[in-house]
Amino acid sequence: MAMASVKLGRQSSIQDSPRSPEAKLGMQVEDLWDVQEPELSPNDKLNACFESIPVSAFPIAPQGIEIKSDASLADAVQILAQNKILSAPVVDVDAPEDATWMDRYIGIVEFAGIAVWILQQSEPSSPRSPSSPSGAESALAANGMASAAGLEALGPESASITSGDFFEALTSSEFYKNTKVRDISGSFRWAPFLALQNTNTFLTMLLLLSKYKMKSVPVLDLGDGKIDNIITQSAVIHMLAECTGLHWFESWGSKKLSEIGLPTMSTKEIITVYEDEPVLQAFKLMRKKRIGGIPVIERGGGKAIGNISLRDVQFLLTAADIYRDYRSITAKNFLIAVRNYLEKHEKRSPMLSGMITCKRDETVKDLIQKLDSEKIQRVYVVDDDGNLEGVITLRDIISRLVHEPRGYFGDFFDGVLPLPENSRV
């Protein structure tokens, strides 16, 4: 597996501020903003500011959960659910005590990765290798689960294969209970595993979260070879929200979304799923299109009735019994079942807020505060009649905040991380 630690950027010496950790970071940008060359454009000034602040200045996340490589998929799901986190680094149990970080960690596992990997195993072999079913497919079939052929192309007419006991069968199967986390270490977000050093810059971190589509960025302490911090998209949103009132933020955040070219995606480019399609189709589309969320559209009307994101896949693994009475787990039934479950068990959840929308004439600041308060990473843009006009994600916001200087990463990504298609940074 390809692994790398970024060794870019430089350290900064900014005096501490008595404000909150996130606001303190914003104040560091403020101090740097005031001393930047006046001839620089606002965008170049922000780039220079973020390049002068090390990621060690970012507030430390309160959680330090790690998952052992010999944990079963079932155990990993339970650990993530109990700690109310969506992902965690995986420690190689066979690594020696004095191992470097590259030998100690084999990647990051998350809810979506486990579910998507299992579904991949249930799909038929490719036309190039139409051999006998794989061991995973045989295990799925032996445990009374949907046939491999049934999952390749999902539509309303095939919704019956995702009846209410589909995921109950999955989460009670020996395949699910016995497969180890290390067994899926070659799939989806696992390779490569990129980590920052404490001396790397805030600009590097922002570019990895946006242009290189990372959900979270581990920060390493090279001294003991362990992860010191994990910076998530939500943490970045909260930091930006805490900067309200600061000059550098207001000069950028007071602009309307339409003024800075948001949304970048047109109405025709939005990937959607109809309310009567199996919810698995939504997750398959997210995997295929490499996106984090999909709006659910009413059949015949065209307006969105809700949103399903990759983070919601956890409800298929942790609360499979809530779908028991459904003849099929359609996108609409999924939204209803999860909402009913959350109303009983968790009053504070993005799923309970429904579909979060905004208008083109709202400001960047308005959008950031909305993302922060709702604990989400995407907002749908609608017109006055509620029709979808676009989608805006944290990556889109970052792409309007900073840019990657020519040659910034040098040859660091050669053979490690391919340049993402349709990058908007």
Q: In this predicted model, what pLDDT tens digit does every residue of 380-397 receive, in sequence order?
A: 998 888 888 899 998 899
CA distance 340 to 324: 13
**CA angle in degrees (0–180, nearest 5) for 71-75-76:** 80
Q: Which of 291, 290, 311 is nearest to 234 (CA)?
A: 311
Name the maximum alpha-carbon separation found in the chain.
Answer: 69
Q: What is the pLDDT of residue 7?
A: 55
What pLDDT is recorded for position 3?
A: 54
Q: Terminus-to-terminus CA distance in the chain, angstroms?
A: 27
Asked if residue 176 has pLDDT above 90, the reply is no
| C-alpha separations of 142 from 3, 65, 421 in Å | 36, 34, 39
User: Nearest to residue 315, comparing CAs of 347, 279, 281?
Assistant: 279
Higher pLDDT, 33 or 224: 33
pLDDT for the residue numbered 132: 38
Q: What is the pLDDT of residue 259?
A: 93
Confidence (pLDDT) at 81: 87
390: number of Cβ within 10 Å:
20
pLDDT higher than 70, residue 15? no
Range with the poorest average pLDDT among 9-13, 101-105, 113-117: 9-13
3-class SS of residue 305 = strand
Comparing 37-46, 91-100, 179-188, which segment has the lowest mean pLDDT? 179-188
Q: Name the more confident of 120 and 33.
A: 33
Report the pLDDT value the prediction gives residue 149, as an integer from 0 to 100.
31
Which pLDDT score, from 0 to 100, does residue 67 have? 93
d(CA 377, CA 370): 10
Using the predicted structure, report yes or no on whether residue 26 has a pLDDT greater than 60.
Answer: yes
Q: What is the mean pLDDT of residues 8-18?
A: 43
**222 confidence band (pLDDT: 50, 70, 90):** confident
Tens digit of each residue's pLDDT (9 = 90 or more) over 286-326: 877 878 889 999 888 778 889 998 888 888 888 888 888 77
Which one-letter amino acid corresponds to residue 2?
A
How far is it, in rounded angstroms, from Cα 70 to Cα 77? 13
Residue 217 has pLDDT above 60, yes or no: yes
- Residue 147 pLDDT greater than 50, yes or no: no
DSSP string, 360-425: TTSBHHHHHHHHHHHT-SEEEEE-TT--EEEEEEHHHHHHTT--PPTTTTTTTTTTTSPPPTT---
Please give the CATH number for the structural domain made up of 232-402.
3.10.580.10
What percent of the chain clears pLDDT 70, i.e. is strictly above it?
77
pLDDT band at 164 (very low <50, low <70, confident <90, very high): low
**What's residue 391's pLDDT?**
92
Taking the C-alpha atoms of residue 125 and residue 120, their distance in angstroms, rounded to an integer, is: 10
Output helix, strand, coil percentages for the chain, rounded to the nearest 5: 40, 15, 40
Computed over every residue of the chain, the mean pLDDT equals 78
Backbone angles phi, psi at 363, to 5 degrees: -90, 165
pLDDT of residue 233: 87
For residue 415, the number of C-alpha atoms closer than 13 Å in the C-beta half-sphere is: 3
pLDDT band at 273 (very low <50, low <70, confident <90, very high): very high
Give the pLDDT mean for 105-130: 65
Kindly state the percentage of the chain with pLDDT values over 90: 24
Residue 337 CB: number of other CB atoms within 10 A? 21
- Taking the C-alpha atoms of 43, 49, 51 and 56 in order, what is their torsion angle to the nearest 10 degrees? -140
Contacts of 205 (CB under 8 A, 6+ apart): 55, 58, 196, 217, 231
